[in-house]
Amino acid sequence: MKLLDLPNNFLFKKARTSQPATTQTSVILNPKTASYDHLDKHSQELVKKTINFFESRGKARLKEDDHERTWYADFLEFEKKEKLFATFLTPQGYGTKEYRWDTLRNCALNEIFGFYGLAHWYTWQVTILGLGPIWISENEVVKKRAAKLLKEGGIFAFGLSEKEHGADIYSSDMHVTRQEDGTYLANGSKYYIGNGNKAALVSTFGKLTDTDEYVFFVVESQHPNYELVQNVVNSQNYVAEYRLNNYPIKEEDILAKGRDAWDMALNTVNVGKFNLGWASIGICSHAFYEAINHASHRRLFDHYVTDFVHIKQLFTEAYARLSAMKLFGQRAIDYMRCASHEDRRYLLFTPMVKMKVTTQGEEVMNLLWDVIAAKGFEKNMYFEMAVKDIRALPKLEGTVHVNMALILKFMGNYFFKPGKFPEIGRMDEAKNDDFLFDQGPTKGLGKTRFHDYRKIYNQYDLPNVNIFKKQIRLLKILLVAGKPSEEQSKDFDFLLHLGELFTLVVYGQLILENAKLTGIEDDLIEQIFDFIIRDFSKFALVLRQKGCATLVQQTICERMIKRPNVDKERDQRMWENYAYAMKDQYEMNA
């Protein structure tokens, strides 16, 4: 039987519906209608001016600049005029009353920059990384200098990675040599350094030649002893290779030495990598609008594309995964903002925003691309840019594997040694996040405690949530009865899939916490846990099939494989009230 000879109900559920009767809560950004009323008035104004900047330029200009690899001088002029970076990235005490480092409003910009293309997000992101060591340091001279440069529209850079060593900061070849007069000369090169062509200051990591201690110091990209070697990528962004040739360093240019410099590097990445998940959320949101608009207006085989059963399923799945990304990211902000030396739960949630949310972004884009197919290659589509950009985010600020290795350190305490913490609500106060620049030593991650995840799970009595609770219990049984052997603990592929199971538990926890705060309806929660159950089952199956898996491990993993609850009425409501309701809600100005 040929495809076109199949009965009509094989491909289509029913005739195309008009706009759904009811529209439910959506967390997906629409920049043309978002009020940003959770921010103070001045922040709202700046965020809306940023949106207007991009909408006024339009999609044609956005795509042309991307294709021609145009340096975004007009954007930097806009941010300079509005003091955008200065307002959002200057900690309290170093500027006007509106200036503060506030993760909540920073993520609003993260999402917007991602929504309009990764290039503008990237210059913001590497400015954040470049500022991290400065604000963490006790060097008031450089802090005041940075604040002044920010106010003047300066951008910043983070000179950590090297061509031969990557992010292996144990092996830095940037050497700083002490001179007889107490000054220093810096020699060496750095590689893959965003903003390295125009940065007002580049926070640079190296080693002192006389003591072999680590050192963090600042240099100017326009200094004659700063050699700009090349742009190492084919992009609008300038991702530099630079070399310092007897670059003169004074004591006042040094941010930290020894262990403090090492901690400074890692703590800066803790702050910066949180932004990557938010860029993914922005990219996927714009791509979703473009895909649903295209598919809902395109007719094939005398039907609209959105009448096809499999298309409905692809959009519904993409909607659920994107909503989960946003719900998790929002809740993780709260733990970033309530962090202290006694509450370091953010150390688990931050790498998950970087690792889990960005890889989920790839999943969403794959689903949407399966809908719009060849349309996704067209030069005038945002989508063509998005499918390229979305791949970068899981690979920046530490690979997925590096972040999973970090996440695994927390698994034992998370499941078996919960701590007691006060209830944390929405952390939306307009205040400076002081602790992010006072994180302290990076040792002792294994001692970090978490509140009992079962508390929020037990507040939900829904079919798919209940199925997932059974999977969680089996994972805990695996960790006790089928504890990885010493040999398995050295097999990172084995640990990677075990870590994937663990991260899904944490993912579901924060999604449920935010759903409770936001008032998300049960249909969306159930649809999210539908894919969480399937993902958990997939990773359990892979773990079971590992050649090193014991019989006990195989048996428990097999029991973990579950089927989500089948609810065709919910599926239809999800399509009509959530996914299809996105149709014609947003289109970027031409």
Which of these, 332, 339, 343, 352, lies nearest to 433 by C-alpha position?
A: 339
Which CATH number does the domain 156-257 belong to among 1.20.1250.20, 1.10.10.10, 3.40.1670.10, 2.40.110.10?
A: 2.40.110.10
Angstrom distances, CA of residue 23 to CA of 26, 32, 237:
8, 18, 39
Nearest 5°: the CA angle 512, 513, 516 is 85
* Unique residue bearing structure tokens 């149709």: 583
Amino acid at 103: T
Which residue's entry shows tokens 């949180």?
A: 274
Number of H helices, E strands in the chain: 22, 10
pLDDT in tens, the chain (590 residues): 343 344 444 343 443 333 444 557 899 999 999 999 999 999 999 999 999 999 999 999 999 999 999 999 999 999 999 999 999 999 999 999 999 999 999 999 999 999 999 999 999 999 999 999 999 999 999 999 999 999 999 999 999 999 988 777 778 899 999 999 999 999 999 999 999 999 999 999 999 999 999 999 999 999 999 999 999 999 999 999 999 999 999 999 999 999 999 999 999 999 999 999 999 999 999 999 999 999 999 888 888 899 999 999 999 999 999 999 999 999 999 999 999 999 999 999 999 999 999 999 999 999 999 999 999 999 999 999 999 999 999 888 767 778 888 888 999 999 999 999 999 999 999 999 999 999 988 888 888 999 999 999 999 999 999 999 999 999 999 999 999 998 998 888 899 999 999 999 999 999 999 999 999 999 999 999 999 999 999 999 999 999 999 999 999 999 999 999 999 999 999 999 999 999 999 999 99
d(Cα 156, Cα 358) in Å, to the nearest integer? 24
**Residue 500, both tokens:** 């994937």
Residue-wise pLDDT for 509-548, tens only, equals 999 999 999 999 999 999 999 999 999 999 999 999 999 9
Return the closest-CA partner of residue 278 out of 419, 163, 125: 125
Domain with CATH 2.40.110.10 in the chain: 156-257
- Is the CB of residue 571 less than 8 Å from the CB of residue 316? yes
Q: β-strand 156-159 against 201-208: which pairing, if any?
A: parallel
Given a contact cutoff of 8 angstroms between Cβ atoms, the answer to whether 352 and 332 are in contact is yes
Q: Which two tokens stand for residue 440?
A: 């302290």
Q: Pinpoint the alpha helices (H) of 338-376.
A: 346-352, 358-372
Other Cβ atoms less than 10 A from the Cβ of 107: the count is 22
Scanning the structure block, which residue is given the tokens 């996440």? 407
What integer pLDDT is reported at residue 32 of this predicted model?
Answer: 96
Dist. CA 218–CA 226, nearest whole Å:
12
Biggest alpha carbon–alpha carbon distance for the chain: 88
**Mode of pairing for the β-strands spanning 175-178 and 201-208:** parallel
* Residue the block writes with tokens 């990764």: 118
Residue labelled with tokens 């695994």: 408
Q: Give the pLDDT score at 489.
A: 87
Record the pTM.
Answer: 0.94
CA atoms within 13 A on the CB side of 383: 25
Cβ 111 vs Cβ 278: under 8 Å: yes
Which helix H or strand E contains 490, and what residues bound it?
none
Residue 23 confidence (pLDDT): 54
Yes or no: say if 251 and 215 are a contact pair by the CB < 8 Å rule: no
- The DSSP bridge pattern shows strands 214-219 and 226-231 to be unpaired
Helices 492-518 and 463-481: crossing angle in degrees, nearest 10, is: 150
Cα separation, 140 vs 256, in Å, equals 12
- Residue intervals in the chain for CATH 1.10.540: 41-151
Element (H, E) at 47: helix 41-68
Name residue 399's amino acid: T
Local structure of residue 169 (DSSP, 8 states): G
- In angstroms, the CA 161 to CA 396 distance is 11
Q: Give the CATH number of domain 41-151; options: 1.10.540, 1.10.510, 1.10.260, 1.20.120.
A: 1.10.540
